[in-house]
Structure 1
Amino acid sequence: MQATIATLGYVFSADRKNILMIRRDTRPDDIHFGYYNGLGGKLEPGEDVAACMRREIREEAGLECGTLDFAGTISWPGFGKDGGNWFGFLFRITSWTGTPLSANDEGSLHWMPIADVLAGNLPMWESDRHFLPLVFADSPTPFHGVMPFASGKALSWSYTELS
């Protein structure tokens, strides 16, 4: 399977009760317009996924990552523009330095309570609600998931935990 390789990171507040999220609100033609999401983006040639995650957090939030805690991977067949496949590496970022930006070219940045994220109180991809409990678990276990998409909607969700 050919896929766009990407990273998706969740920056935790010091008390681990909030997550820094982007509200994609700058481009109405953005597939994510109006949704809250973690930070991240596409892997560049010659870059490993950890370097990509660190670069994306620096570019999007103005922060330098300390520890990257690997959360898992998700294969998103059919998710991209024109039905392209995506494969994402997910990280928890629990240590970082700097002062978060208030916005970037893609949207505004906000500290959002994890409880609100998990309760579905934010506009976001409905499909994120399947895997975010795994990312935000008190004792997280890395996982590998598959979430096929068609016409902008998740068709199913399955995963295996690595224990």
Structure 2
Amino acid sequence: MQAILATLGYVLSPDGTRVLMIRRDRRPDDLHFGYYNGLGGKLEPGEDVVAGMRREIREEAGLECADVELAGTVSWPGFGRNGENWFGFLFRIPSWTGQPRQDCPEGTLVWTELADILAGRVPMWESDRHFLPLVFAAQPRVFHGSMPFSNGRAISWTYTLA
């Protein structure tokens, strides 16, 4: 399977109770328009996943990552606008420096209560609710999941813990 390689990162507040999310509200043609999402994007040629995650956080939020923790990976066959396959490396960013920028090109940056994210009180991809409890577990373990999509919706979810 050929897939688009991407990163998805969750910047945590210093006390761990909030997450810096992007409310995707800049481009109406955005596949994620109207949803809250973590920060991230496609890897560039020759870039490793941690370097890509750091670059995306810097570009989207203006922050420098001090720590980058691999939470897991997710394969999203059929996810893209035209049915492309995506493979994502998901990270927690528990420490960082700088101030979140006010002019993120992807949308509005919003500090969002972790409890609201996990309770489903934040507009996001319905499918994110399957893996976010693993990302934010009290005793996190690296996971590797598969979430096939058809017609813009997840049709299943499986994972293993490393």
Normalised TM-score (structure 1):
0.98
Secondary structure in 1 matching 2:74: strand
For the pair 1:99 / 2:85, whether they are aligned, the reply is no
**Corresponding residue for 2:59?**
59
1:105 deviation in Å? 1.2
SS at match of 1:104: coil
Shift of 1:24: 0.2
How far residue 103 of structure 1 moved from its aligned partner, in angstroms, is 3.4
Task: Quote the offset at 1:160 in angstroms.
Answer: 0.1
CA deviation after TM superposition for structure 1 residue 102, in Å? 2.5
Q: Residue 134 of structure 1: CA displacement?
A: 0.2
Aligned to 1:134: 134
Counterpart CA distance in 2 for 1:158 and 1:83 is 20
Contact 1:102 1:110 in 2 (8 A): no
AA in 1 matched with 2:104: N
Unmatched 5+ stretches in structure 2: none
| TM-score, L = length of structure 2 | 0.99
Aligned length in residues: 162
Structure 2 match to 1:10: 10
Distance in 1 (CA, whole Å) between partners of 2:23 and 2:123 is 9
Match of 2:23 in 1: 23
Select between 1-10 and 98-107 the one with higher mean Cα deviation.
98-107
Instruction: Report Cα offsets for 1:22-50 as digits up to 9, x if no partner.
Output: 00001111110000000000000010000
Name the % identity.
70
> What aligned pairs does 1:14-163 form with structure 2 within 5 A after superposition?
14-162=14-162
Shift of the alpha carbon at 1:51? 0.2
Distance 2:99 2:78 in 1: 36
Check the 8 A contact 1:64/1:98 in 2, yes or no.
Answer: yes
Q: CA offset at residue 106 of structure 1?
A: 1.3
Structure 1 residues not aligned, in runs of 5+: none
Let me know the Cα RMSD of the aligned residues. 0.5
Q: Secondary structure at the match of 2:30?
A: coil
Which aligned segments of 4 or more residues in structure 1 are displaced greater than 4 angstroms? Answer: none
Superposed CA deviations along residues 126-157 of structure 1, whole A, max 9, x for unmatched, are: 00000000001111000000000011000000
Given residue 29 of structure 1, which amino acid in structure 2 is its aligned partner?
A: D
